[in-house]
Amino acid sequence: MSSTTANPSARRTELLEAAYQYVLRHGLAGLSLRPLAEAIGSSTRVLMFLFGNKDGLVRALLERARTEELALMAGLRRPERPVDLATAAQEVWTWLAADAHRPLLRLWAEAYARSLVDPDGPWAGFARSTVEDWLDVLAGCQPQAERDTEEIVARRTLTLAVLRGALLDLLATGDESRVTGAVHQQLALLRGAEGTGD
């Protein structure tokens, strides 16, 4: 880890935040340092000095996005008052479906896809780490005694798959009513399975 990453300067922090707001609006596809630098009141030379190269900047931007996502997800955890998986998933979906989170989640989807097709790029490991992050959030909402059984891990994995698929549908279509209805139907089935122990 470089000293600029371990102890970022005020200017690096300022430019990273400005660049992050830029990619939330424009995405990572076709990101070019010159127009980015112009848009945030800097220069390519300064960006190269602070981040090393374009890949270094992209890695910093993805870490910034992950930090925001983790901070927002922290409010979903209930270690002192665990809830059932369906209730936790409902809270997660409410968060995912909120308009305010759409730019962050579009950036997430782009980075997720790129990490799958270009695993050696600056987004290396992003998809795996985000799966682990979300599974951890769902696990943290469940009673400690239950969360590590094979059956509960499988339910958590299925629940995450439903939420992720619904999120991609929502990002593609913007049809919140239809997608939320489908999520609610699946969560009702999950509640039934949890109630019967099947």
CATH number of the domain residue 116 falls in = 1.10.357.10
Residues of the domain holding 49: 3-196
Dist CA 90 CA 19 (whole Å)? 32
What is the predicted pLDDT for the residue at 79? 60
pTM of the model: 0.80
8 Å CB contact between 89 and 141:
no
3-state secondary structure of 7: coil
Domain count, the chain: 1
Residue 103 to residue 178: CA distance in whole angstroms? 20
Q: Please write the tens of the pLDDT for every residue from 74-133.
A: 776 666 666 678 888 898 899 899 998 899 899 999 999 999 998 888 888 999 999 998
Report the C-alpha gap between 13 and 3 in whole angstroms. 13
